[in-house]
Amino acid sequence: MSARRIDGKAAAAEVRASAGRAAAFFRATTGRAVGLATVLVGEDPASEVYIRSKRAACSEAAMESLHHALPAETSEADLLALVARLNADPAVDGILVQLPLPPHMDAARVIDAIDPDKDVDGFHVVNAGRLAVGDPAALVPCTPLGCLHLLKAELGDLSGKHAVVIGRSNIVGKPMAMLLLAESCTVTIAHSRTRDLPALAREADILVAAVGRPEMVRGDWVKPGATVIDVGINRVAGAEPGKTRLVGDVAYAEAERQAGAITPVPGGVGPMTIAMLLRNTVVAAHRRQGLAPPEGL
């Protein structure tokens, strides 16, 4: 048996297109474009690649992206002052401060300075709280939101399924668990102290790996027929010297022999993250303007 390969690229293109239609509606209704402010501190090459993809997706969806590139030695006070200006700027609907920040900055303090209603990453404690209590005003972190979209497209109703989420970070594992709980899954959150993780993983109907360890999840961790979502983005040495390649947290070739469906890396969760950023930005724009986000967005 070989698993169905879940095409995150194709699903992301659909989400981007519907966000683009909603952005066009927004412009026609309000006379201004949806605006996303991106902030990058320093010159991390991976971060530059991500920011470039996010901005390209914005312009494809006819949204305005306003980029702020700050030198690595920028003080936290200067970054907080920029965030305050963006909070106050009516042309800015969404604010994304690319992580990681340089070590002399406190990421939590910076994120919590962002207006929660412009926090399109969904990282602010207010949005984490809204998600936890089921408040529809929550802006939900893009990566777990993208995973949920893929799961619903694949499985339909998720209620009663046992979901095992490996990883408990505030940006992926925890919000993923909250979303699955809200869909009435029975959720188990695993982490570095979990005992006998392979046996636990084998209990999962839905297995989400968000660990950051290349190919940690082996084929025999996967229950036959399970749906596997691989969030991991790990750059490892490639076959040729000096070349690198991208692998997930799941050993794909092994796992696809067991799974019912599985996301690849690249081409799985990554593209969905960017698509959901556009969706969150359009939703934030509509809410700030007192408009209902369009049906089916």
Ligand X SMILES: NC(=O)C1=CN([C@@H]2O[C@H](COP(=O)(O)OP(=O)(O)OC[C@H]3O[C@@H](n4cnc5c(N)ncnc54)[C@H](OP(=O)(O)O)[C@@H]3O)[C@@H](O)[C@H]2O)C=CC1
Ligand Y SMILES: Nc1nc(=O)c2c([nH]1)NC[C@@H]1CN(c3ccc(C(=O)N[C@@H](CCC(=O)O)C(=O)O)cc3)C=[N+]21
Residue 169 counted as an annotated binding residue: yes
Any idea what DSSP says for residue 171?
T
- The residues binding ligand X (CB under 6 A) are 143, 166-169, 171-173, 190-194, 197, 210-213, 231-234, 249, 269-270, 273
Q: Which of 93, 115, 119, 121 is catalytic?
A: 121
Residue 168 counted as an annotated binding residue: yes
Rounded to a whole number of angstroms, the minimum distance from the CB of residue 174 to ligand Y is: 15
**Taking Cα atoms as reference points, which of 186, 248, 196 lies closest to residue 217?**
248
Task: Tell me if residue 44 is catalytic.
Answer: no
Pairing outcome for strands 227-230 and 234-237:
unpaired
Per partner kind, with CB cut-offs from 5 to 8 A, the member of ligand X, ligand Y, none near residue 192 is ligand X
Task: Tell me if residue 223 is catalytic.
Answer: no
Per partner kind, with CB cut-offs from 5 to 8 A, the member of ligand Y, ligand X, none near residue 264 is none
Q: Residue 148: which residues within 8 A CB-CB, separation 6 or more?
A: 176, 179, 180, 183
- Nearer to ligand X by Cβ, of 100 and 160: the residue is 100
Residue 2 counted as an annotated binding residue: no
Asked if residue 113 lies in contact with residue 83, where contact means CB atoms within 8 angstroms, the answer is yes
- Nearer to ligand X by Cβ, of 33 and 274: the residue is 274
Task: Tell me if residue 289 is catalytic.
Answer: no
- Nearer to ligand X by Cβ, of 273 and 280: the residue is 273
- Nearer to ligand Y by Cβ, of 17 and 99: the residue is 99
Residue 189 CA from chain centroid, whole number = 18
Give the count of beta carbons closer than 10 Å to the beta carbon of residue 167: 23
27-36 burial by CB neighbour count: b if 16+ within 10 A, else e?
A: beeeeebbbb
- The residues binding ligand Y (CB under 6 A) are 49-50, 53, 96-99, 121, 142, 233, 246, 265-267, 270-271, 273-274
Type of residue numbered 278:
L
CA distance 260 to 158: 15
Q: Point out the annotated binding site.
A: 167-169, 233
Q: Point out the annotated binding site for NADP(+).
A: 167-169, 233
Catalytic (active-site) positions: 54, 98, 121
